[in-house]
Amino acid sequence: MLLTTEQEEIVNSSLDSFKINAVAGSGKTTTLLEYAKKKSNLKILYLAYNKSLQIALNEKLKDYHLPNLHISTIHSLAYNKTEAYKYKLTPELKTNILEKLIINHEFQDNKKSYYPSLEYTTILKTL
């Protein structure tokens, strides 16, 4: 695929985590596809705003066989992480339990930090 200079910078980036925010039709999916192909050693999470976008993206990318790319909605990510604790959750405890889960996940995943990354902190603030 022919990529723009901006897309090539993203695909060739050495960053492990970043966010792409752009208008519809700007090439986000193409960039994601090329990045996932090039960085097959990384686990990549694409957070869609809604279920219909998740389904459309899964359909669009199904022929590329990228086991390192997981597409989820923001809500299903939060739901799956809290399902085991739902019987314990009250409005006051939700963010405390989620923060502990996220800190544990971050430490297990990258062994670098006991603190949630900016992405996880943003999710916590929206709950």
3-class secondary structure per residue, 14-51:
CCCCCCCCCCCCCCHHHHHHHHHHHCCCCCEEEEECCH
Question: Is it the case that residue 71 has pLDDT exceeding 90?
Answer: yes
51 and 73 in contact (C-beta within 8 Å)? yes
d(CA 13, CA 59): 26
Q: Strands of 2-76 (E only): list them.
A: 44-48, 69-73
11 and 3 in contact (C-beta within 8 Å)? yes
- Range with lowest mean pLDDT among 24-33, 56-65, 82-91: 82-91
Q: Strands of 12-98 (E only): list them.
A: 44-48, 69-73
Helix, strand or coil for residue 84? helix
83-103: average pLDDT: 67
Element (H, E) at 118: helix 118-126
Write down the domain spans for the chain.
Answer: 28-80, 88-127
pTM (predicted TM-score): 0.59
Specify which residues 48 forms β-bridges with: 73
CA 18, 107, 68, 76 torsion: positive or negative? negative
pLDDT 10s digits, 1-59: 799 999 999 999 988 777 888 898 899 889 999 999 999 998 888 888 899 999 999 99
106-116: average pLDDT: 60
So what's the pLDDT on residue 7?
Answer: 94
